[in-house]
Structure 1
Amino acid sequence: MRPHPALSGTPPKGIWWPIGLGTLLRLFQIWMPVLGVHSWRQADTAAMARHFSQNNTPIWLPQIDWGGASAGFVESEFPIYPFLVSRMYALTGVQEWLGRGLSVLCSGLTIWLVIRLGRRWFNPNAGWWAGLAFAVAPLGVYFGRTFQAEALLLLCAAAALESLSLWRERRSRWALALSWIGLTTAGLIKVIPLLWLGLPLLMVQLTAAPRERAEPWPTLLNRSIRLLSSAWFWLYIGTSLATVAAWYWHAHNLGQSSGLSFGFWGAGADRSSASLLLDANSWINLLLRVVVRLLAVVGAPFLLLGLHKSWRTGGGQIAISGMVGLLLCTIATMRSSTIHEYYQLPLLLFSSPLIGLGWQCWQPTRPRWQPRLVLSLGLAISITVLSVDYWAVEQRQSRAWMPLARTIRNELPETARIVSVTSTDPTLLNLARRQGWLISSKQLTPERLQRWQAAGATHLAGSFVWDKTYRPMPDQREQRLRTLAGSSPNAWIDQRRQAYLIPIDDLHPQH
């Protein structure tokens, strides 16, 4: 009898199936303006790309929109993603779908690398299903087409893992160099990959061949001693850390001189929280987010099955070390992790191969209709989550904010400086493609209006019903803003009285 494909290790189809499906899902609404979930993060990235293109500034001088009357140079992560987008802008002009397209390209390549990692750690069949799990994960789909560097970050991490494995097998220098580039670029994009990526890279060197049983402690100790005595190991680690440190030293100095920063360091960073670490609700919410948005619910039992089947193998230990690294990063950045769901996104690199292995072990023993039902259910859950939690939010915010943004683009000169009444959210400034100030509606005072006017502010802009682009405006502040707009003879108010654009000259201190 011919063995079942899952048992023989033969992938059920070509790798273009998961890559094609994942790319198709990520192309949905690719033309949308930079709005939606985490639009504030995307807006800053899009602003950097626009400024790189328009001002022809070098990559080490990133600019944002909320610098007031200044040039807007900011302390930031290494801006390789917006700089790459700006090179495309040089050919076509500012077309923000190109930034989303770059994310889709990076995400498609990552699906291919996840398939390779699944093959390497387990077998070809597990690799194919790993690619499919990564392709349809709701969080992977959404952040695989957003205007931010997360898709490039995952690509670099996956490339570092695959290349270092190739180097271990073949001792190819180009593979080692490619792994170094992947690790270093990931660290430049965000510092925390040095932990969640560094641990599995270390395990690649210390474990047995991925498909073999784990080695005893004496052998593991011998491997560790040999690795620590290797010159290439210290050169690899040392130069990577030095490169990352050099950039963040430069970025810190840039922030010190401009006064503008994303708040990486110091008490103002507010990334960790002891109270959240001890709060059971925080962990329950994170778990639900992972199960629903990362694993599409049906992936959870196959992840557990894959962990059970692989924890004594080299490949399983590599994947588990990545998950442990992410847990440590979550503990170190608990507040940020609970707010920014893309902090859990790298989990897909390690959970997807385990899900693929779990599926491979479960599928052959079931009647054909059961796997088909589970696959259909997983895809339906993924599309439902994407539709309700992500795509619909982009459409709703576009209807609320784009009329105001287009009015600013069309009626005001490019040199106009806008006071955006959207608290700390720069989305409106990016949509309008203007620079200026960010202010909360509760901080509007005659003294501030006078200072902005003296600094060159020309207009006050915002919404009556939205404080940030995603947070409703309190009733009392809405009434105050409507009164303020009504006092201006030249104010622009949209047809539904949702937004306003008021010349600063119309606003006198008594208002």
Structure 2
Amino acid sequence: MRPHPDLSGTAPKPTWLPIGLGSLLRLVQIWMPVVGVHSWRQADTAAMARHFSQEGNPIWLPQIDWGGASAGFVESEFPLYPFLVSRLYNLIGVQEWLGRGLSVLCSALTIWLVMRLGRRWFTPQVGWWAGMAFALAPLGVYYGRTFQAEALLVLCAAGSLEAHSIFVERRKAWALSLSWICFTGAALIKVIPLLWLGLPLLLVQLTPSPRAKAESPEQMLRRLLRLTLNPWFWVYVSTAVAVTSAWYVHAYQLGEASGLTFGFWGEDSDRSNIGLALNLSSWVNLAIRTGLRALVVTGVPLLMIGTMRCWRFGGGRIALGGAVGMLICTVATMRSSTVHEYYQFPFLLFSSPLVGLGWQTLQYEQRRWTIQMLLSITLIASLSILSFDYWAVEIRRLSTWMPLAESIRKEIPVNARVVCVTDSDPTLLNLARRQGWIIPSRELTIDQLKKLKDDGASYITGSLNWRNTYTPMQEAESNRIRELIQAHNISFIDSKEETYLIPIKNLIP
């Protein structure tokens, strides 16, 4: 096995430093309720966890809050993460920090696995820098502590890559089994890992010596042909696809029965858009977002350096295969990828080792103080992005919506159904820990209120200043709602934000 030239022989750095620093950053505001960036996605996950705990439902019956008068069973991804959180709730009670804590634990384990992958594909020093790159990336920090399944998803992906590498090296049956479990778990959580994780896993199988010079395309093709004749290859793939398909068939049937769905199929699906995929501005926006929040700016040239140096080696091709898989999935889910930045979170699994290779290369070519200064700049940039784009947003949203949510908890019975005028955003319902409806402000009419009252709605709540929990309401729309309810001596929970909580019977005698 031929090691990378001029990348060996340096004393190893302490493993605990990237893990400790990354965990410390992810513990910032861990006590925060579900508010802030992408709170609507977190709110649905938190609602599932709460219902699993309180209702005692099995894992195959996920519930959300916005089901109206129904139980709220919804078509969704496999709810492994909220179900695990619900087990913690059963021990301690409904505390959102438990869900965030589970994400932090998953993220800390992922940093360790990224270091192992970097070491396996390149050198121990590259592995250390890869762990540091993953630990400091604002995208990894924020979604490594949010109340959603992304941290668990990325952990499953990293676990699958590491376990499969062990299987290829040592032919241990337990490693292949663990690889399959993690791969199938990632696919159940989000589906698209079938591609962006499947491609690098295939390259792991075809690369017996990641640190050695990569084999020629002809040699790789011969290995691939031999692999297709191996029945265990087809067992691995077919069973993973079968288990994933079985869940989503069940989820589809659940959505058909309840009428509640996250829009995986049909006209409501917002995953793909050919026009956006062919639009240059969409790619520019994605590149800027990735450069700032995933690579912290300084990682962009380091990624380029690592990419140029790695392609000749087996491990580098595995990392590049993952990046290519992510690119294909981005094209396939372009609308979701441009709106939901956590779709780029798994990219860090493959970019971090390449950035680590760039760091290590730079370390050999520059003075020590230059590296320390660049690392300090990276840390400062990461903290700045996290502070302004994420942590400050959570604090602002908390001060805006938590007083109203606490009033709902105190004044409204647990079984009362609430109408939240927050568009399609369930954050307020989750903060209030109530079930009911979420409607856009444009649908708030007397006729609609009569229908909702007949369906069992007892209260209506919202804000005259906010269309949902993160978008300000236009003045014309605010005035229309004000005129609708002004004759009923509305009492604002928060006079500044003009949040209201009104019994519907006061509006509809």
Q: TM-score range by the shorter chain?
A: over 0.9
Cα separation, partners in 2 of 1:7 and 1:222, compared to 1, 3 Å: closer
Which one-letter code corresponds to 1:111 in the other structure?
A: I
- Provide the rounded CA distance (Å) in 1 between the counterparts of 2:140 and 2:16: 17
Which residue does 2:308 correspond to in 1? 308
Which residue does 1:128 correspond to in 2? 128
Which residue does 2:189 correspond to in 1? 189
Please state how far the C-alpha of 1:489 moved relative to its aligned partner: 4.1
Please state how far the C-alpha of 1:476 moved relative to its aligned partner: 1.1
CA contact (8 A) 1:9 1:125 kept: no
Secondary structure at the aligned position of 2:18 is classed as: helix
Which residue does 1:408 correspond to in 2? 408
Please state how far the C-alpha of 1:410 moved relative to its aligned partner: 1.1
Alignment RMSD (CA, Å): 1.2
CA contact (8 A) 2:407 2:493 kept: no
Q: Does 1:368 align with 2:368?
A: yes
* Equivalence map 1:101-250=2 (5 Å): 101-250=101-250
Q: Which deviates the most, 164-173 or 484-493?
A: 484-493
- Provide the rounded CA distance (Å) in 1 between the counterparts of 2:366 and 2:81: 45
Which one-letter code corresponds to 1:318 in the other structure?
A: I
Secondary structure at the aligned position of 1:178 is classed as: helix
Secondary structure at the aligned position of 1:267 is classed as: coil
- Provide the rounded CA distance (Å) in 2 between the counterparts of 1:76 and 1:279: 30
CA contact (8 A) 1:277 1:331 kept: yes
Secondary structure at the aligned position of 1:73 is classed as: coil
CA contact (8 A) 2:400 2:497 kept: no
CA contact (8 A) 2:138 2:386 kept: yes
Which residue does 1:22 correspond to in 2? 22
Please state how far the C-alpha of 1:173 moved relative to its aligned partner: 0.7
- Provide the rounded CA distance (Å) in 1 between the counterparts of 2:7 and 2:311: 19
Which one-letter code corresponds to 1:428 in the other structure?
A: L
- Provide the rounded CA distance (Å) in 2 between the counterparts of 1:289 and 1:12: 33
- Provide the rounded CA distance (Å) in 2 between the counterparts of 1:356 and 1:503: 58
Listed as ranges, the gaps of 5+ residues in structure 1 are 1-5
CA contact (8 A) 1:196 1:329 kept: yes
Which residue does 1:294 correspond to in 2? 294
TM-score (norm 1): 0.97
CA contact (8 A) 1:195 1:325 kept: yes
* Equivalence map 1:452-471=2 (5 Å): 452-471=452-471
CA contact (8 A) 1:62 1:73 kept: yes
Which residue does 2:420 correspond to in 1? 420
Please state how far the C-alpha of 1:12 moved relative to its aligned partner: 4.2
Please state how far the C-alpha of 1:451 moved relative to its aligned partner: 1.0
- Provide the rounded CA distance (Å) in 2 between the counterparts of 1:507 and 1:229: 71
Secondary structure at the aligned position of 2:488 is classed as: coil
Which residue does 2:429 correspond to in 1? 429
- Provide the rounded CA distance (Å) in 1 between the counterparts of 2:482 and 2:297: 45
Q: Over residues 166-207 of structure 1, what are the superposed CA-to-partner deviations in whole Å (9 max), with x where a residue is unaligned?
A: 001111011001000110000000010100000000001123
Which residue does 1:3 correspond to in 2? none
Please state how far the C-alpha of 1:315 moved relative to its aligned partner: 0.3
- Provide the rounded CA distance (Å) in 2 between the counterparts of 1:114 and 1:337: 23
Which residue does 2:353 correspond to in 1? 353
Please state how far the C-alpha of 1:496 moved relative to its aligned partner: 2.3
CA contact (8 A) 1:255 1:261 kept: yes
Q: Does 1:488 align with 2:488?
A: yes
Q: Over residues 322-374 of structure 1, what are the superposed CA-to-partner deviations in whole Å (9 max), with x where a residue is unaligned?
A: 00000000111111100000111111000000111111111122122211110
- Provide the rounded CA distance (Å) in 1 between the counterparts of 2:218 and 2:277: 36
CA contact (8 A) 2:130 2:353 kept: yes
Which one-letter code corresponds to 2:170 in the other structure?
A: R
Cα separation, partners in 2 of 1:7 and 1:277, compared to 1, 3 Å: closer
Which one-letter code corresponds to 2:236 in the other structure?
A: Y
Cα separation, partners in 2 of 1:84 and 1:11, compared to 1, 3 Å: farther
Secondary structure at the aligned position of 1:65 is classed as: coil
Which one-letter code corresponds to 1:216 in the other structure?
A: S
Please state how far the C-alpha of 1:484 moved relative to its aligned partner: 3.4
Q: Over residues 111-155 of structure 1, what are the superposed CA-to-partner deviations in whole Å (9 max), with x where a residue is unaligned?
A: 000000000000100000000000000000000000000000000
TM-score (norm 2): 0.97
CA contact (8 A) 1:11 1:128 kept: no
CA contact (8 A) 1:489 1:506 kept: no
CA contact (8 A) 1:319 1:350 kept: yes
Which one-letter code corresponds to 1:78 in the other structure?
A: F
CA contact (8 A) 1:490 1:503 kept: no
Which residue does 2:377 correspond to in 1? 377
CA contact (8 A) 1:485 1:502 kept: no
CA contact (8 A) 2:168 2:208 kept: no
- Provide the rounded CA distance (Å) in 1 between the counterparts of 2:144 and 2:314: 29
Which residue does 1:84 correspond to in 2? 84
Secondary structure at the aligned position of 1:268 is classed as: coil
- Provide the rounded CA distance (Å) in 2 between the counterparts of 1:320 and 1:7: 19
State the identity as a percent: 63
Please state how far the C-alpha of 1:491 moved relative to its aligned partner: 4.3
Which one-letter code corresponds to 2:360 in the other structure?
A: Q
Please state how far the C-alpha of 1:213 moved relative to its aligned partner: 1.0
Q: Over residues 446-483 of structure 1, what are the superposed CA-to-partner deviations in whole Å (9 max), with x where a residue is unaligned?
A: 11101111111011000111101111101011112233
Secondary structure at the aligned position of 1:487 is classed as: helix
Please state how far the C-alpha of 1:265 moved relative to its aligned partner: 1.0
Q: Does 1:48 align with 2:37?
A: no
Which residue does 2:3 correspond to in 1? none
Cα separation, partners in 2 of 1:59 and 1:136, compared to 1, 3 Å: same
Please state how far the C-alpha of 1:280 moved relative to its aligned partner: 1.0
Please state how far the C-alpha of 1:493 moved relative to its aligned partner: 3.2
- Provide the rounded CA distance (Å) in 2 between the counterparts of 1:438 and 1:67: 9
Q: Over residues 52-94 of structure 1, what are the superposed CA-to-partner deviations in whole Å (9 max), with x where a residue is unaligned?
A: 0000000000000000000000000000000000000001110
